[in-house]
Structure 1
Amino acid sequence: MRIEEWWPRVDPSTQQWLINNNGDVVPPNILDQITAVAGAPTADASWVGETAPEGFFLSDEAIDWIEETANDEVSEDE
């Protein structure tokens, strides 16, 4: 599932955390909320970044999309 599909299905507080902390390690409670609607992160999911010793990261594509969404830059056809 793409970020565009799961984004409206997560809690507004989760969306706000992702906007406020865009690019940071995604804490387990936020990742749990995402995976509850999007399913487990898989390597082919465009929103999945790397898992490092610090934790889970969203992909650069997802980070850019969140920034655009936060700035109301996402077009209707995206």
Structure 2
Amino acid sequence: MDLEQWWTRVMPVTREWLAAHNGEALTPEVVADISRAGGLVASDAWWLGQRGPDGVFLSDAAMDWIEEQANGKDQAGQDT
């Protein structure tokens, strides 16, 4: 499932965490909520970035998209 799809299905606290901690490794709780909402964290989706000993990260493109959402912009850069 794509980021735009699971974004509306995760809990508001998860969306808030993602916006506030953009660029940080995802917490186990955030990973669980994304998975519950249909985002396959074990996939090779465009929105997934590096994985390593520090955890799972979102891609740069996903972080940009989340920042736009947090700033009240849609994907075309228009105010929402």
Q: Identify whether the pair has TM-score above 0.5, normalized to the shorter chain.
A: yes
Q: What is the CA deviation profile of residues 34-73 of structure 1, one whole-angstrom value per residue up to 9, with x for unaligned ones? A: 0111243201x12111102111101111100000001112
> What stretches of structure 1 of length at least 5 have no aligned partner?
none
Residue 33 of structure 2 corresponds to which residue in structure 1?
Answer: 33
Which 4+ stretches in 1 moved above 3 angstroms? Answer: none
SS at match of 1:25: coil
Q: What is the CA deviation profile of residues 11-54 of structure 1, one whole-angstrom value per residue up to 9, with x for unaligned ones? A: 001100101101111011110100111243201x1211110211
What is the correspondence of 1:1-78 to structure 2 with a 5 Å cutoff? 1-41=1-41, 42-43=43-44, 45-75=45-75
What's the TM-score, normalizing by structure 1? Answer: 0.87
> What stretches of structure 2 of length at least 5 have no aligned partner?
none
CA distance in 2, matches of 1:75, 1:59: 16
Q: CA RMSD in A?
A: 1.3
Q: RCO greater where, 1 or 2, for CA within 8 Å and sep 6 or more? A: 1
Number of paired residues?
Answer: 75
